[in-house]
Structure 1
Amino acid sequence: MLPWKTAVIETARFGGYAMNVLAARRAEARALWELVPLELVLSAFAIILAGALKYADVMP
């Protein structure tokens, strides 16, 4: 089946294929962000920053 035909069927069935896809992508991104703890992100950022400062001879 062609993609545009699938989109037409989805629009007819669910009343707005584009909105459903957009909502699903937002929900997926939110769920992925909730899986990564903030402490892990901050720790990784601090390690990368410390390495960059050490490489630039700013930090001993």
Structure 2
Amino acid sequence: MAYLAYALARGVAEGKYAYPFIDVSANGWVGVMSNAVVIALGFVAAAEVLVLVDRMLAPR
């Protein structure tokens, strides 16, 4: 969350965004926030899968 805020602030200040999915001028604020939520959910889902795999592989 902190990096997203930093990247957005820097992009607004410089007019150039580090990533195309956070480019407010191209995607709008709703699109950027939607992209951020989808990416965050992807990270959470990947973490859940890794925890599940770890639990399945752990010795009993």
TM superposition score normalised by structure 2: 0.46
Greater relative contact order (Cα < 8 A, sep 6+) = 2
TM-score (norm 1): 0.46
